[in-house]
Structure 1
Amino acid sequence: MPDFTLRKTALFVEDIHHDGGPVADKPRRRAALAALVKNPFAGTYVDDLQSAMDDLKPLGLMMTDQLIDAMGGLEDIDGYGKAAMAGEAGELEHTALWHVPGGYAMRARLGEAKAIVPSSMKQGGPGTRIDVPLGHINAAYVRSHFDGMEVGLPDGPRSDELLFILAMSRGGRIHDRMGGLTVEEVQGEDGLR
């Protein structure tokens, strides 16, 4: 069993009241939780990485629960995304370990989420920032929810660490007006529409 020792977590919360237009009736909340963990595969090549995803599921669930608390509860959470970054001794493929645990955890807690969880991955060192993509939880074609949060930590990921991030949002972009599928039109059958 690989050792993904947790070094620290950091929470980012934004309440967006307006974006150059009138003040919204209800602010849009975006939040991200980042976790720095030891990368047990740093500096080596390991052929079978897939089984290690199961070892990260408890971290995904813990982060999801903390993020839901930061969002003020489950009500009206309708956007999500995830990201991962490997330090310089890691591989980009190590960041892919987060696909199942991060997505699984948010789907398990958010219920009937149908859409793919948008994801980004990269390598970088301390202070490197990453854009966490956000999309609607039930329909990938809802344009009002195409968004992202820039996240980074000044002290990580260190060379032998992985940075795992989950993000959630409530509501579309403030002042969205690009048309497309609206939230009210979502059928939620296939994750697309």
Structure 2
Amino acid sequence: MPEVRIRKIATALEEIRHEGGPPAVQPLLRAAAMAVIENPFAGRYVADIQPFMEDLKPLGLDLARRLVAVLGGDPARVEGYGKGALVGSGGELEHGALWHAPGGYAMREVLGGAMAIVPSSKKVAGVGARLDVPVTHVNASYVRSHFDSMEVGLNDAPRADEMMVVLVMTTGPRVHNRAGGLAADQITGKDGLR
């Protein structure tokens, strides 16, 4: 299995106080952790790429722990999450799909067994590209107040032979959410949906 070669890791934190309405009682925090790594499959077709998912697991745990720390250190404070991958032009979309399990399960583990599927986005792109990472509630995907996203990107990544893998966590619903649907305090927590 290829070694995960990290060029750099970056974190970003947003503190959202309002979206044009009254100031929130508690600002929403959105944070992203991004790792720019060498794509061991860039420039060629490799049939069996699944073993690289195992290699990515420690990186997933590291990024998930960094996010909890950036958000104050208490995993119970995290209410939303998502993941994504930007693949450099020498790679293919399927290389970004290798981040699904290592990124998602890492966040679930660090958060103490979150129930909901971790939403994801991925694309092949050039240096400086941006990615919208979708976010849903950590225990119930149908909690509409927590449908969100965070735009991420770095000015020098991904290079053609790289990938940028991303995890995002949030501390609550969208500021000024009022679109109805299942409320967070109505979650039954049995199936990851409701």
Taking structure 1 as the reference length, what is the TM-score of the superposition?
0.98
| Cα distance in 2, alignment partners of residues 14 and 35 from structure 1 | 18
Residue aligned with 2:175, SS: coil
- CA-atom RMSD, angstroms? 0.7
- Indicate the percent of aligned positions where both proteins have the same amino acid: 56
**How far does residue 29 in structure 1 lie from its aligned partner after superposition?**
0.4
**How far does residue 3 in structure 1 lie from its aligned partner after superposition?**
2.6
Contact preservation (8 Å) 1:3, 1:38: no
Q: Which residue is equivalent to 1:42? A: 42
| Cα distance in 2, alignment partners of residues 166 and 94 from structure 1 | 16
Say yes or no: does 1:90 pair with 2:83.
no
Say yes or no: does 1:75 pair with 2:76.
yes
Q: Which residue is equivalent to 1:135? A: 136
Report the number of matched residues. 193
**How far does residue 85 in structure 1 lie from its aligned partner after superposition?**
1.0
**How far does residue 61 in structure 1 lie from its aligned partner after superposition?**
0.5
Contact preservation (8 Å) 1:31, 1:67: yes
Letter in 2 for 1:174: V
Say yes or no: does 1:187 pair with 2:188.
yes
Structure 1 residue runs of 5 or longer lacking an equivalent are none
| Cα distance in 1, alignment partners of residues 46 and 8 from structure 2 | 25
Q: Please give the per-residue CA displacement for 1:3-50, whole angstroms capped at 9, x wherever unaligned.
A: 320000111100111111111111010000111000000011111111
Letter in 2 for 1:179: G
Residue aligned with 1:75, SS: helix
Stretches (4+) displaced over 6 A = none
Letter in 2 for 1:175: H
Alignment of 1:12-161 (within 5 A): 12-73=12-73, 74-161=75-162
Residue aligned with 2:135, SS: strand
Contact preservation (8 Å) 1:83, 1:132: yes
Letter in 2 for 1:110: L
Q: Which residue is equivalent to 1:2? A: 2
Q: Which residue is equivalent to 1:163? A: 164
Taking structure 2 as the reference length, what is the TM-score of the superposition?
0.98
| Cα distance in 2, alignment partners of residues 188 and 48 from structure 1 | 36
Contact preservation (8 Å) 1:43, 1:90: yes
